[in-house]
């Protein structure tokens, strides 16, 4: 069979929803849903304030409660994450602190244990990795499913409640429910210098890659 014929048939299968494109030259059977996270009024309000005073800033906001959808055990505390350009982290931190937000900047494990333990939904300002895969939902900049998964894999301090068997649960549920681009995940993991580790993790169990 000619290559052009194969490409045309693959194209038709994608259009019909029989195949779902998950990476360059990689497909899964069936048409999975796109991941569109919910945006709270609280997050949207803060974004509008930041956008008004830092109009040229690249930013990504989300709440770790989004992970509840995939988790077996629900944590008792959530973080409201504000990721911004590295050179603006301190400015945004003090901007929110001056407005009486319970906000922390790039918290260490010790800081989380000592000062955030009693906070129910503290704000965290951290640097946004360049070329991170974000999406805009009605103009609001937030995470993609690929970024969400890579972040919990790469940051065991902030995402302590999502490690171990819980992370396995999250990955399994996410791959079952949504269309996920492995190539996008690995590119982002590479930016976070964790590409090899993520690749090995995905290879540990075939159920993550049976869709690819």
The pTM of this model reads 0.82
Alpha helices per DSSP H over the chain: 3-15, 41-53, 89-97, 109-115, 145-154, 165-177, 182-191, 195-204
Could you tell me if 158 and 149 are in contact, meaning their C-beta atoms sit under 8 angstroms apart?
no
Instruction: Look at the alpha carbons of 68, 204, 135, 130 in this order and tell me if their dihedral is positive or negative.
Output: positive
Given a cut of 50, whether residue 6 has pLDDT beyond it is: yes
pLDDT cut 90: percent of the chain above it: 66
Residue 146 near residue 132 (C-beta atoms within 8 A): no
Residues in a beta bridge with 29? 19
How much helix, strand and coil, in percent to the nearest 5, is found in the chain?
Answer: 45, 15, 35
Here the tokens at position 28 are 């899964």
* Tokens found for residue 12: 């038709």
| Furthest-apart CA atoms within the chain: distance in Å | 67
Per the CB < 8 A criterion, the answer to whether 109 and 129 are in contact is no
Q: What angle do CA 78, 43, 86 make, to 5 degrees?
A: 85
Give pLDDT tens digits for 152-204: 999 999 999 999 999 999 999 998 888 888 889 999 999 999 999 999 999 88
Residue indicated by tokens 């010790």: 110
Measured distance CA(58)–CA(42) in Å, rounded = 19
Taking only the tens place, the pLDDT of each residue in 202-211 is 988 545 554 4
| 187 Cα distance to chain centroid | 13
pLDDT digits (tens, 9 = 90+) for 9-38: 776 676 555 666 655 566 666 556 789 999
Locate tokens 């300002």: which residue?
125
CB atoms under 10 Å from CB of 18, counted, come to 13
Q: In what order do the strands lie in the sheet with 103-105?
A: 59-63, 80-84, 123-127, 103-105
Residue 14 has what pLDDT?
64
63 forms beta bridges with 80
Residue 99: helix, strand or coil by DSSP?
A: coil
């Amino acid at each position: 069979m000619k290559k052009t014929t194969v490409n045309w048939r693959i194209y038709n299968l994608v259009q019909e929803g029989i195949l779902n494109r998950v990476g360059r030259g990689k497909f899964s059977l069936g048409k999975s849903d796109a991941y569109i996270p919910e945006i709270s009024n609280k997050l949207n309000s803060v974004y509008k304030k930041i956008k008004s005073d830092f109009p040229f800033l690249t930013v990504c906001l989300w709440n770790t409660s989004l992970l509840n959808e995939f988790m077996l055990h629900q944590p008792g505390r959530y973080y409201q994450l504000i990721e911004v350009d590295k050179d603006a982290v301190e400015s945004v931190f003090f901007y929110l602190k001056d407005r009486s937000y319970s906000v922390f900047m790039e918290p260490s494990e010790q800081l989380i244990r000592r000062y955030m333990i009693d906070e129910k939904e503290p704000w965290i300002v951290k640097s946004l990795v360049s070329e991170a895969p974000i999406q805009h939902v009605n103009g609001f900049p937030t995470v993609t499913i690929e970024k969400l998964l890579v972040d919990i894999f790469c940051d065991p301090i902030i995402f302590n409640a999502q490690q171990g068997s819980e992370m396995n649960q999250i990955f399994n549920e996410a791959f079952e429910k949504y269309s996920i681009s492995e190539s996008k995940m690995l590119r982002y993991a590479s930016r976070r210098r964790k590409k090899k580790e993520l690749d090995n993790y995905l290879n540990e169990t075939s159920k993550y890659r049976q869709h690819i």
